[in-house]
Amino acid sequence: MALSPGSALAIYPGSFDPITYGHLDLIERGSRLFGRLVVSILRNDKKQPLFDVEERMEMLREAVAGYPNVEVDSFHGLLVDYAARRGATAILRGIRAVSDYEYELQMALMNRRLQPDIETVFLLAGEAYSFISSRLVKEICGLGGNISGLVPPGVEARLRERAARDKA
C-alpha cells in the first residue's frame, strides 16, 4: 500500500500523562506529514496514571486546538487493531535516544507482523525536547521544581494543582 501523505491517516499513540512540548513537537511535524493525525491515549488499567483518560484527553484537545487535521481519541487493546479499525496507514512514534529505538523497533516489527499494511514512522525528537519525558516532568513538579517550558501552561497549572493536592 503506497503512503500518500496528503490523504493518509496516522495514529500517534501514547499515555500523554501529561502531554509535553516534546509530544507537541511530534504532533506539529506529524500534522504536516499526514492528511489526518489521531493522537490517541492507550487505556491501560495496569498503570496508575496521574491524570485519568478524560483529563488527558481534555489537556490534549486544548494543546492541539490549532491543528485542524489533528483529533484526540483513546483506545484499549492492540494498537494495530485500533489503527486498522480507524483506517490508518501509519503509526507515528517518537525517538529520543538509542534506548527508545531498541524498544520501538521491537514493537514496530511485531506490529508489522500483525498488520503488514500499517507502517510505523519514526520521527527523531527535536533537539530542544530530546530530554523531556512525562515521567521526569511529574517528578520535577512533585518536588517543587520549575517545569515551565516543558509543558503547555494549562498542563503546568493542572500539574501544580495536583501536586499541591497530593501534599495536603
- What are the residue numbers of the active site? 23, 47, 96, 134
Yes or no: say if 134 and 156 are a contact pair by the CB < 8 Å rule.
no
**Helix H or strand E segment including 124:** strand 119-124
User: Which of 140, 159, 34, 9 is CA-nearest to residue 84?
Assistant: 9
Output DSSP code: residue 125: P
Phi, psi for residue 132 in degrees, rounded to 5: -85, 130
